Amino acid sequence: MIVLGIETTCDETAAALVERFDDGRGRILSNIVLSQTEEHAAFGGVVPEIAARAHVEALDGIIAAAMKQAGVTFKSIDAVAAAAGPGLIGGVMVGLTTAKAISMVSEKPLIGINHLEAHALTARLLNPTPFPYILFLASGGHTQIVAVRGVGDYVRLGTTVDDAIGEAFDKTAKLLGLGYPGGPQVEQEALQGNAARFRLPRPMQGRKEPDFSLSGLKTALRLEAERIAPLNNQDVADLCASFQQAVGDVVIDRLRAGMRVFRERYGAPTALVTAGGVAANQSIRKVLNRVAFEAGTVLVAPPMELCTDNGAMIAWAGCERLVLGLIDTLDVNARARWPLDEVTGVQPTNARS
Amino acid sequence: MRVLAIDTALAVCAVAVLDTERPGMSVRESVPMVRGHAEALMPMIARVMDVANLDFAELDRIAVTTGPGSFTGLRVGIAAARGIALAASRPSVGLSTLAAYAAPQIAKDDTIPVVTAIDARHDQVYIQIFGPGGRTLVPPRVASILDAVRAAAVGPVRIVGSAAGLLAAAWPAGIAAPSLVETHPAPDIDWVARLGAAAAGPVTPKPLYLKAADAQPQDAYGLPRR
């Protein structure tokens, strides 16, 4: 089967065609992502109205290009999938409405995808990854540890109570005048820095629940930086290194806690799967490898273009749902907030009354 | 010419199919709504196309209002129109809500100017003024109600649009009162279809916001560097 996937929940306008074979393997036929980073750079973050404006201007062209590159027509595909949330609602509406229009005209099933579910299932697109596995999703908007037990069967084990990890990186970069988006710049600076110079807290360390908190770390970094300002180049590098080290320590501790909870409830996971842009950070990647090794499992890290927002992950989640007959109607609504736990899959037949 | 017309820019969700070769033939649905266009629109299009007994491939054009109006609403309409155009390989065309409001009055009598005023909230209106022959005297812009009245109250005029009443209420003493004040929540969808059929050529519909996105560029940020 071949599914068109559309993603517009944040600042990437994306469309892709993905094929799923009967044995469960997947293949990407095309995957086009138009990033709006430049449109938002002057504002130091994603501006929802600017994002929505950019999506509506670009999306049909991106879809046409993806269709052409894949060599398919609207008649020859099997379904249209679009991210229906969670995310910036103005952009989600553009993507979902476009998907509805294509679905209606081409008489193909519509599938409204939870953006987080798409991240959770991406690993299975390129590697046969059986359920259940543990997912570490970390991006500019999300930081979660999730038990992925099946399609439509997700249990959030932990989440951040304040900032997302990517957001904390961006805010650190902003404070230090490193530009937007800041994650890669902080990582670059940290290479030349002394991670032991500043004593920063490791929030939530030792807690049993695998939750995260980043705002205290961010504040501590700001106080240290203000104390020694004006900053020279070495100060900035040392601050970045100390910050990155602290985040790495937090990730190790919280993921260990997540592993413990997972094992208690579901037994051994088949893998530790990553999703989201934070996994692009090499020092975080090392930490993830270490946690997976300690837990006696493997790290499955999809290539970076599939970890950050893209259309292929939406199309793949569409394939996984279509196989199970999970399709939606033309009045399905866009949702700004949509926790993974609320996503449903195939209902057990014995649940009928 | 067969036209599918869509309007979700203001406080109505409306769809019509017009066939200019079959006079009197028009299928339409129009429901007042402040929110919920995104959920209501596509099933409505499906129903109207069904009653009109047309395939999307049989359409000559998809016409849509591009605003000014609710930013979210006009994007829903434009995304739908452009999505249908893409999937059906049919051309699309955009019409402003300002022109669609004015069209029936200009068609009736094109000697007395027509003022279109759409509520932009915060004591502002989107305004356009059409003179004799339907030519634009004041191009689409956003203005305070006071400035809009100042621009409009120059002689005998007719006022239409969701803010027609607001303008009439602020009309200055001593200037001839408007000969017509017609306040409707949205333009007549049949006229969106007619303008779509009459438009010079298909042009990909683009939003007409008239207001910049509400965002301030950041000042130089970050701690001082040595």
Alpha-carbon distance B183 to B181, whole Å? 7
Q: Are residues A261 and A194 in the same domain?
A: yes
Strands B136-144 and B124-130, by their bridges, are antiparallel
CATH number for position A158 = 3.30.420.40
d(CA B222, CA B226) in angstroms, rounded, equals: 12
- Domain of A258 in residue numbering reads as 131-301
The beta-carbon neighbor of B38 closest among A53, A74, A334 is: A334
Please, are residues A164 and A139 in contact by the beta-carbon 8 Å criterion? yes
B17 three-class SS: strand
pLDDT the model gives residue B43: 97
The CATH number for B192's domain is 3.30.420.40
Do B78 and B161 share a structural domain?
A: no
Whether B90 maps to a domain, the answer reads: yes
Query: Residue B38 above 80 pLDDT?
Result: yes
What pLDDT is stored for residue A258 in this prediction?
Answer: 98
Q: Indicate if B14 and B24 belong to the same structural domain.
A: yes
Rounded CA separation A283/A268 (Å): 25
On whether both A30 and A142 belong to a single domain, the answer is no
Q: What pLDDT was estimated at residue B220?
A: 54
B40 domain residue, yes or no: yes
Model pLDDT for residues A124-134, shown as the tens digit of each residue: 999 899 999 99
- Give a yes or no: residue B125 inside a domain: yes
Q: Which phi and psi angles does A46 have, rounded to 5°?
A: -75, 125
One domain for residues A82 and A135: no
pLDDT at A353 > cutoff 60: no
- Asked whether residue A222 falls in the same domain as residue A321, the answer is no
Q: Is residue B112 part of a domain?
A: yes
pLDDT (tens digit, 9 = 90+) per residue, A88-121? Answer: 999 999 999 999 999 999 999 999 999 999 999 9
Could you tell me if B35 and B74 lie in one domain? Answer: yes
Residue A40's pLDDT is what?
86
Interface of B with A (CB under 8 A): 38-43, 45-46, 56, 71-72, 75-76, 78-88, 206-207, 209, 213-218, 221-226
B32 occurs within a structural domain: yes
Residue B105 structural domain: 98-182
Find out whether B138 and B154 touch, Cβ atoms under 8 Å.
Answer: no
* Interface probe, candidates A76, A105, A218, A332, chain B, greatest B C-beta count within 10 A: A105
Number of structural domains chain B divides into:
2
| Per-residue pLDDT at A350 exceeds 70 | no
Question: Do residues A116 and A136 share a domain?
Answer: no
Are the CB atoms for A18 and A3 separated by under 8 Å? yes
Nearest CA in chain A to B59: A105
| Whole-prediction pTM | 0.94
Same domain for B88 and B102: no
Q: Would B44 be classed as within a structural domain?
A: yes
In tens, the pLDDT along B192-221 reads 999 999 998 888 999 999 999 987 766 556
Same-domain pairing of B109 and B75: no
- Cross-chain Cβ contact B79/A98 below 8 Å: yes
Residues B15 and B92 in one domain: yes
Kindly report the backbone phi and psi dihedral angles of residue B128, in degrees, each rounded to the nearest multiple of 5, phi listed first.
Answer: -145, 140
Residues in B closer than 8 angstroms to A75, CB to CB, are none
Same domain, A200 and A263: yes
pLDDT band at A347 (very low <50, low <70, confident <90, very high): confident
B173 shares a domain with B106: yes
* Interchain pair B226, A57: CB under 8 A: no
User: Per-residue confidence at A349, pLDDT binned at 50, 70, 90?
Assistant: low
Shared-domain flag, residues B168 and B102: yes
Tokens at residue A77, please? Answer: 């595909």
For chains A and B, CB pairs below 8 A equal 131
| Domain contains A310 | yes
ipTM of this predicted structure: 0.95
A170 and A262 fall within a common domain? yes
Distance CA A83, CA A117 (A): 10
Residue A352, pLDDT above cutoff 50: no
Q: pLDDT by residue (tens digit) across A254-311? A: 999 999 999 999 999 999 999 998 998 999 999 999 999 999 999 999 999 999 999 9
For residue B224, what are the contacts with CB-CB under 8 A and spacing of at least 6?
Answer: A229, A230, A231
A232, burial (CB in 10 Å: exposed 0-12, middle 13-18, buried 19+): exposed
Cβ partners under 8 Å of residue B114, min gap 6: B102, B105, B106, B129, B130, B157, B158, B159, B160
A351 pLDDT band, cuts 50/70/90, is very low
Same domain, A188 and A333: no
Work out how many domains chain A is built from and give that number. 2
Other Cβ atoms closer than 10 A to B92: 26
CB atoms within 10 A of CB B93: 24
Helices marked H in chain B:
37-52, 71-88, 97-108, 145-152, 164-169, 189-198
Q: Both B105 and B160 in a single domain? A: yes
Q: Measure the CA–CA gap between B152 and B127, rounded to whole angstroms.
A: 9
Rounded Cα distance between A70 and A76, Å, is 11
For B97-136, how does the pLDDT look when each residue is reduced to its tens digit (9 = 90+)? 999 999 999 999 999 999 999 999 999 999 999 999 999 9
In a domain, A353, yes or no: no
Same domain, A312 and A288: no
